[in-house]
Copies of this chain bind each other. A is one copy, B any other.
Amino acid sequence: MSSPRITPRAQDYSRWYQDVIAEADLVDASPVRGCMVIKPHGYAIWEAIRDDLDARFKATGHVNAYFPLFIPQSFLSKEAEHVEGFAKECAVVTHHRLKATPEGVIPDPDARLEEPLVVRPTSETIIWHMYGRWISSWRDLPILINQWANVVRWEMRTRPFLRTAEFLWQEGHTAHASSEEAQEETRRMLDVYRDFSEQILALPVVRGVKSASERFAGAIDTYTIEGMMQNGWALQCGTSHFLGQNFAKAFEVTFQNKEGQLEHVWATSWGVSTRLVGAVIMAHSDDDGLVLPPKVAPIQVVIVPIYKAETRQTVIDYCERIAASLRPGIRVRIDDRENLKPGAKYFEWERKGVPFRLEVGPRDVEAGTAMVKSRLGGDKGSLTVDEGLGAVVQGMLDAFQQALYDRALAARTERTVEVDSYEALKARLESDAAWFLVPWADDAENEAFIKTDCKATIRCFPLEGQEQAQGRTCFYSGRPATHMAIFARAY
């Protein structure tokens, strides 16, 4: 049953995305330009993402801390490239008081800040200012800190989850005594992100390095994980930066090494954001609405009781017993709302991406069974309600999770193509988006031209398979290839 309110993917992918979000009740627009309200069902997906990642960060030795929302304006100028990248579309606080007037409140002209404050677009500057106070010896290193926070980047064109003025994220900021250790950390966190995406989001990703033009402002190297959406576009799902000594130099952070010499500290930073909720939606959902990997589904199993007045209590009691036998390992909800028919409930939970629905009527109570329907379609099945039910349902959830991953991987494999020429790339892009794996001679000007010409960008130089560039010529310039590159349209 296709929802009349959801535009099919094939017709308009962008509308489809907005419709899926609206029908699943994930966000609402706010009265503040570019800022979204994340509604409970959407926020619960983010909570699942956050909780799993937080445990992974802690398991790799990181601790959480909290740094101020505001950054003194002058800090943004300190790192030469960072200022280019981030001292642009920021929210700037200039006053610290409002004043009541007959026409309403206004910023009090007597309460102008001496130095304006910027709402953090990212926290390298203020964190490295603090690290300068905390680090003096090799004994103070490494510092392995993560922060869960909101950040603001004033965006003109926004899209729920994928690009909003304010968003929620985590930003890891680590400090090390050597370049090697910092580079190891950069790669370790990239792999944490890769494992998380594949195991929890059921999203296969390609790990790679960004070209200089796509690098984080202030980084030596930016590593990325890139996921393919169902329209063949790429979505950057997380980045991990090796910052070298750039921020340590900008904020004069040195340490005495074991040999007693003063050195600048080595840095990394890495982050993922509420954008990952958008990735999940785009990667797995269908024309009937949201499809969620069980590991991030706020509700994994919904039980819908079907009864008449005289069987109501018996059926509900039976549902409670089923739910109790699934908890706490499985997130289950009984939908016993009185004012909705079962069909309307099925429809609602389908659009909200609940992986499995159990339908339970008086005959199921007698037979000790429950009908089960998967969000991925297929016929309804019958489950036996006994002490083995929890394990059976857990197995179904695991298989569901795996099926999403397999499906996404197959789609990506099918849509990752090798082309011999730029003309072939453009021709394919005009008919159907894809990822283009090509030999490439690194050149920022050529890269910029391609971006302007057909909107494809280098998503990354994938970590695996770089040796294939050897002895080949660039698909665009014909010069000797320096890298294997993935070009694609991207969000």
A interface residues, Cβ below 8 angstroms from B: 28, 30-32, 35-40, 43-44, 46-47, 63-77, 83, 87-98, 100, 104-107, 116-119, 126, 129-130, 133-134, 139, 145, 149-150, 152, 154, 166, 168, 339
B130 to A73, Cβ gap below 8 A? no
A74 to B133, Cβ gap below 8 A? no
A97 to B90, Cβ gap below 8 A? yes
> Known interface pairs A28-B133, A91-B117, A98-B92. Does A47 touch B64 (Cβ–Cβ under 8 Å)?
yes
A68 to B105, Cβ gap below 8 A? no
Give complex CA distance A134, B39 in Å: 11
A92 to B89, Cβ gap below 8 A? no
Give complex CA distance A118, B94 in Å: 11
Given A73-B104, A90-B96, 16 further pairs, Cβ under 8 A? A30-B68, A31-B126, A32-B72, A32-B126, A37-B130, A40-B63, A40-B65, A43-B64, A73-B98, A73-B106, A87-B105, A92-B97, A93-B119, A94-B94, A106-B116, A107-B116
B residues near A116, Cβ cutoff 8 Å: 95, 106-107
Copy tally for this chain in the complex stands at 2
B152 to A69, Cβ gap below 8 A? yes
B70 to A91, Cβ gap below 8 A? yes
B64 to A40, Cβ gap below 8 A? yes
Give complex CA distance A78, B210 in Å: 49
B residues near A35, Cβ cutoff 8 Å: 68-70
B residues near A145, Cβ cutoff 8 Å: 40
A92 to B96, Cβ gap below 8 A? yes
Max count, chain B CB within 10 A of own CB: residue among A40, A92, A95, A130:
A92
B residues near A71, Cβ cutoff 8 Å: 32
> Known interface pairs A92-B96, A98-B118, A154-B96. Does A31 touch B104 (Cβ–Cβ under 8 Å)?
no
Give A132 Cβ to nearest chain B Cβ, in Å: 11
B68 to A32, Cβ gap below 8 A? yes
B residues near A93, Cβ cutoff 8 Å: 91-94, 119
Give complex CA distance A40, B133 in Å: 15
Give complex CA distance A44, B66 in Å: 10
A39 to B65, Cβ gap below 8 A? yes
